[in-house]
Structure 1
Amino acid sequence: MPYRGGMLEVREWRAGDTAGFFRVPGADDDKFSRGVVGLRTGSAQYPGAAVLGVEAAWRSGIGFVRYAGDATAAVLARRPETVTGDPARIRVDAWVIGSGTDGGARDEHETAVLRELLAGDVPVVTDAGALDLAVAAAAPLILTPHAGEFARLCEALSIDAPAPGDHAERELRLRAVAADLGQVVLLKGARTLVADPSGTLLAVSAAPGWLATAGAGDVLAGVLGALVAAHPTAPRAEVAAAAAWLHGHAAAIASGTAQGGAGHPILALDVAEALPAAIGSLLA
């Protein structure tokens, strides 16, 4: 149900909205019809980010995952189903880039590869170390900054960053950034907000506090890439909100808060492993 957030109408995204993005595969489905997601994530310093994103993509119901980053050994040790390398014959329906990378340490070759993806027509989930390249991108994007990264995006666009704790200002600045970039922006937080260039604002509040743990954003990026790949014609803002809701609900299942109660600590990998149960609850 919409409500007035500051001067903006904000729509709360719920389980029923998310359920429409999932179905039981039919007799005519194959691995390609269920979507192909590619990930260029992780680094020598942060290989776990690649593992978490790939794990989450697989567990979100995608049919095919291709990994093209620098953490191949770690990814294959955890998920041997993953196709690695750069096989040009395999189409990709959506890319995930930037998770577990540092834009300041990126070399010229990697920058060129990422710019080529960002100049194409395949949707790109743009996270962490690739956010600095989003300003000039032509591809359809979903940016996934946390508060600090969002402040840097605002600075790059000459937009005042929101004051900490000012929720109405946060909504206004998010809408301004999405409009200036012409892209969908998902601002992570205890209450995640999604904005598109038209001014639409969606809010997702399904996550327990236990989700505030290292690697959770890498899991979200993998979920988001999988959903974008599986739903190429759906509004990107709605896909982003569905991914955030599923991510939060998986965290609730993993932490034991889905049925109420205080719950318990979790790790990011616990969230990824709970994704099938979260999807199953939507299909029940």
Structure 2
Amino acid sequence: MDDNREPEERRTAEPTAWEAGDAKAWIAVPTADDDKYSRGVLGMVTGSARYPGAAVLGAEAAARTGVGMIRYLGAPHATEQVLRRRPEIVSAPGRVQAWLIGSGMSADDRSDDDARRLAAALDDGTPLVIDAGALDLVARAAGPVVITPHYRELAVALAAAGGGAPTPGAEEIRADPGGWAERAAAALGVTVLLKGHTTHVVAPGRPRITVTAGPAWLATAGSGDVLGGVLGALVATHAAAVAEHGYDALAALAATAAWVHGRAGESASQGGPVVALDVAEAVPAVLRGLLAGS
């Protein structure tokens, strides 16, 4: 068979469906020797004066996924809201194992203070989960990256990348989400989690993973912020695995986060409407069931 076609024309490998057994392998269970630092510290630069709720939802989800500590370093009003909901969260800078940045932020009206906070996280060299209002900054990241866009946000990230990266419209991505997740991973050099009822996860040069989990009711405001929190916590608790296995670990963690988020949505919904905070609150029960094998 002639295989001298351009890479995009070659037949791609069939995607792998991520299941409960796959997800279970990426849930870190603490031992008697662990402390809050060894269990992972997640830094967060999320939320804004306009969207403080995104910070609350992400922090709530991360805390309920099992991270040892959260350092929230966002805007003052968002910080107040996060600490009101979760007083155990630390608002002082310090060492972290991973960052979650961009949720509830906008590149169009980024303040100088937010720009400095984001720059510090991007320069840190630790793994980053980049969402929403920081997707235009992907190329500046010093550490390994997983991005969590929906269709429109992926179009923005590709347009901001420059350097010959493809620049599809949102509707083009919607028509071929798996293909565009693969192209974006190759063009940006990052792991891509493209959100949707079927979530597509792709690391550069690796086969695509699909996760079909959660009811259609999950298409609600703040749901993506919860997913970001779950993924941020998982990356922080597996920083050593990311350092050792790179893209493969980030893809597995992204797929696990999507699986947990979807199952939490099912649990919270019970066949009816659901709000994002309900999804975050359902995460511990999902993890208990997963670890118990039920």
Shared fold per TM-score greater than 0.5: yes
Residue of structure 1 in register with 2:102 after alignment: 98
Task: Pick from 13, 17, 20 the counterpart of residue 12 of structure 1.
Answer: 17
Task: Pick from 170, 176, 180 the counterpart of residue 173 of structure 1.
Answer: 180
Alignment partner of 1:218: what SS? Answer: helix
Confirm whether residue 236 of structure 1 aligns to residue 250 of structure 2: yes
- Please give the residue correspondences for 1:98-117 in structure 2 after superposition, counting only pairs within 5 Å: 98-117=102-121
Residue of structure 2 in register with 1:183 after alignment: 190
Alignment partner of 2:14: what SS? Answer: strand
CA distance in 1, matches of 2:171, 2:13: 19
User: 1:165 deviation in Å?
Assistant: 7.9
Scaled by the length of structure 1, what TM-score is found?
A: 0.90
Residues 43-71 of structure 1 show CA distances to partners (whole Å, capped at 9, x for unaligned) of: 11111000000000000011111110011
CA distance in 2, matches of 1:137, 1:66: 19
- The answer for unaligned runs of 5 or more in structure 1 is 1-5, 257-262
Task: Pick from 36, 40, 43 the counterpart of residue 35 of structure 1.
Answer: 40
Identity among equivalent pairs (%): 51
The answer (yes or no) to whether the contact 1:160–1:173 under 8 Å persists in 2 is no
Alignment partner of 1:66: what SS? Answer: strand
Residues 121-152 of structure 1 show CA distances to partners (whole Å, capped at 9, x for unaligned) of: 20111011000111332321111111111122
Task: Pick from 257, 261, 278 the counterpart of residue 286 of structure 2.
Answer: 278
Scaled by the length of structure 2, what TM-score is found?
A: 0.87
Alignment partner of 1:240: what SS? Answer: helix
Residue of structure 1 in register with 2:206 after alignment: 199
Confirm whether residue 138 of structure 1 aligns to residue 142 of structure 2: yes
CA distance in 2, matches of 1:129, 1:163: 16
The answer (yes or no) to whether the contact 2:218–2:265 under 8 Å persists in 1 is yes
Instruction: Let me know the Cα RMSD of the aligned residues.
Output: 1.9
Question: Relative to total residues, which structure has the larger helix share, 1 or 2?
Answer: 2
CA gap 1:118/1:200 in 2 versus in 1, 3 angstroms: farther
CA gap 1:168/1:42 in 2 versus in 1, 3 angstroms: closer
CA gap 1:8/1:166 in 2 versus in 1, 3 angstroms: farther
CA gap 1:182/1:166 in 2 versus in 1, 3 angstroms: closer
| Counterpart code for 1:249 | R
| Counterpart code for 2:53 | G
The answer (yes or no) to whether the contact 2:158–2:188 under 8 Å persists in 1 is no
CA distance in 2, matches of 1:246, 1:237: 14
Residue of structure 1 in register with 2:264 after alignment: 250
| Superposed structure 1 runs of 4+ greater than 3 Å apart | 162-169
The answer (yes or no) to whether the contact 1:162–1:170 under 8 Å persists in 2 is no
